[in-house]
């Protein structure tokens, strides 16, 4: 029909930040290639709408109602539902040859709010990014959130000179935490989400968070950290992940996700996700 619809499970029929906020690079490039400005105008209008809105504590909630133009539930996550919005702010600035000052400002303002309100350190010294739900923190970090280590390090170049090292270090701390989430499983593959509460650190405590579906975010952060710091541990950590994938996920015809990475025996989900080839291996 060509009629656009939002996901029926989205809060109040809302649009999702990681979807409407992850069009900028492609649409701007399409305008460049086609000579038609309409594509860039569409994504720049999204920017204008977001800039006009009041943001709770400077944070971007995951849901925006397309009818009212107001935020839906005040749920903030740098992982699922939010993740690539932040990545695209930074990469839009980089792709513009560092002329997109609006994208740059939005990115660094968002990082400041994330540091202030979401980033915490466990009693064991692990830095993690919690989720924010109506002003209350849930001390859970998703596998998807692990991309942020690489993002913070990539963004160090545009930070004020006295903050460059801080952004690299923040990326390194997130990389270490995500590596621990892998290392603390029996299969040395990371769970879908891991928690920091009740005396637990970087471990999935709920059965529906113990699976691994060939996700790329941790390896992505290793790649960025290696290229930006040349610290050999990131190559070693990446190789550990390759060995675990070969040992536990390789099946006839491809690779499969694992239902429980804490179990001694593989229980394959019999699915090779599309992002395994397009992101994890790449």
Sequence-ordered list of residues with C-beta below 8 angstroms from that of 104, at least 6 positions apart, any chain: 89, 90, 93, 98, 158
Low-confidence stretches of the chain (pLDDT beneath 50): none
Query: For 209-229, what is each residue's pLDDT tens digit?
Result: 999 999 999 999 999 999 999
79/187 same-domain check: no
Task: Give residue 193's domain range.
Answer: 121-250
pTM of the predicted protein model: 0.96
Gap between the Cα atoms of 135 and 158, Å rounded: 30
User: Would residue 192 show up in a list of annotated catalytic residues for this protein?
Assistant: yes
**What's residue 8's pLDDT?**
82
Residue 266 lies in a domain: no
User: What is the separation, in whole angstroms, between the first and last Cα of the chain?
Assistant: 35
177/111 same-domain check: no
State which of 55, 88, 117 marks the end of a domain.
Answer: 117
Residue 102 lies in a domain: yes
164/69 same-domain check: no
Query: For 237-246, what is each residue's pLDDT tens digit?
Result: 999 999 999 9
State which of 77, 99, 117 marks the end of a domain.
Answer: 117
Among candidates 59, 58, 73, which has minimal Cα distance to 16? 73
Catalytic residue from among 87, 131, 173, 192: 192
Residue 274 lies in a domain: no
**What's residue 97's pLDDT?**
97
Beta bridge partners of 119: 129
Among candidates 119, 129, 271, 280, which has minimal Cα distance to 195? 129
State which of 117, 148, 163 marks the end of a domain.
Answer: 117
99/153 same-domain check: no
**What's residue 1's pLDDT?**
67
**What's residue 193's pLDDT?**
99
178/222 same-domain check: yes
Number of domains, the chain:
2
């Amino acid at each position: 029909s060509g009629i656009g619809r939002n996901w029926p499970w989205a809060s109040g029929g809302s649009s999702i930040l990681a979807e409407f906020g992850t069009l900028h690079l492609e649409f701007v490039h399409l305008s460049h290639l086609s000579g038609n400005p309409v594509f860039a105008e569409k994504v720049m209008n999204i920017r204008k709408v977001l800039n006009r809105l009041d943001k709770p504590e400077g944070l971007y909630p995951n849901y925006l109602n397309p009818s009212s133009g107001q935020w839906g539930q005040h749920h903030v996550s740098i992982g699922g539902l939010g993740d690539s919005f932040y990545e695209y702010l930074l990469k839009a600035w980089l792709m513009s040859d560092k002329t997109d000052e609006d994208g740059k400002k939005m990115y660094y303002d968002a990082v400041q709010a994330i540091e202030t309100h979401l980033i915490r350190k466990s009693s064991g010294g692990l830095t993690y990014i919690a989720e924010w739900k109506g002003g209350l923190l849930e001390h859970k970090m998703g596998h998807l959130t692990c991309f942020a280590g690489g993002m913070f390090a990539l963004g160090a170049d545009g930070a004020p000179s006295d903050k460059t090292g801080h952004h690299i270090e923040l990326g390194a701390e997130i990389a270490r935490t995500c590596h621990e989430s892998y290392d603390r499983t029996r299969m040395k593959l990371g769970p879908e989400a891991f928690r920091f509460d009740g005396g637990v650190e970087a471990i999935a405590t709920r059965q529906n968070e113990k699976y691994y579906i060939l996700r790329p975010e941790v390896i992505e952060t290793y790649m960025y950290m290696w290229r930006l710091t040349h610290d050999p541990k990131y190559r070693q950590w990446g190789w550990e992940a390759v060995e675990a994938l070969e040992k536990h996920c390789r099946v006839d015809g491809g690779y499969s996700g694992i239902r429980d990475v804490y179990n001694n025996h593989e229980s394959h989900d019999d699915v090779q996700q599309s992002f395994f080839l397009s992101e994890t291996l790449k």
